[in-house]
Amino acid sequence: MITGKGCFHSLKLQNRADIIILCGGLGPTQDDLTRETVAEHLNKKLIYNEGVYRHIEEYFKKIRRPATESSKNRPM
């Protein structure tokens, strides 16, 4: 498993590869740095999308479960 600095190093290899595939894993975790690492590499700022968060809240209401704390960070 590659995380954090290893993920950033993989992105630096883009000049030597036709394609690089990155994923954050099987679910939201506190230590997942994939999104932040890719944004940093691409010199992009992560922007919170309130509409996406409302959609997530509606999903949790539909399945009658409380929204998790980590779900608040998903709409970036």
Q: What is the mean pLDDT of each run of 10 residues along the chain (76 residues)?
A: 56 70 69 78 87 92 88 77
Number of domains in the chain: 2
Neighbours of 53 (CB within 10 A): 17
pTM score, whole prediction: 0.57
Statement to judge: residues 9 and 39 lie in one domain: yes
Same domain, 6 and 28: yes
b/e burial code for range 21-46 (CB count within 10 A of at least 16 → b):
eeeeeeeeeeebbeeebbeeeeeeee
Q: Could you tell me if 39 and 9 lie in one domain?
A: yes
What is the separation of C-alpha 10 from the centre of its chain, rounded to a whole number of angstroms? 16
Q: Do 7 and 34 reside in the same domain of the chain? A: yes
Kindly state whether residues 35 and 53 are assigned to the same domain: no
pLDDT at residue 69 in the model? 78
Domain membership of residue 6 as a residue range: 1-45
Q: Are residues 11 and 28 in the same domain?
A: yes
Do 38 and 8 belong to one domain?
Answer: yes
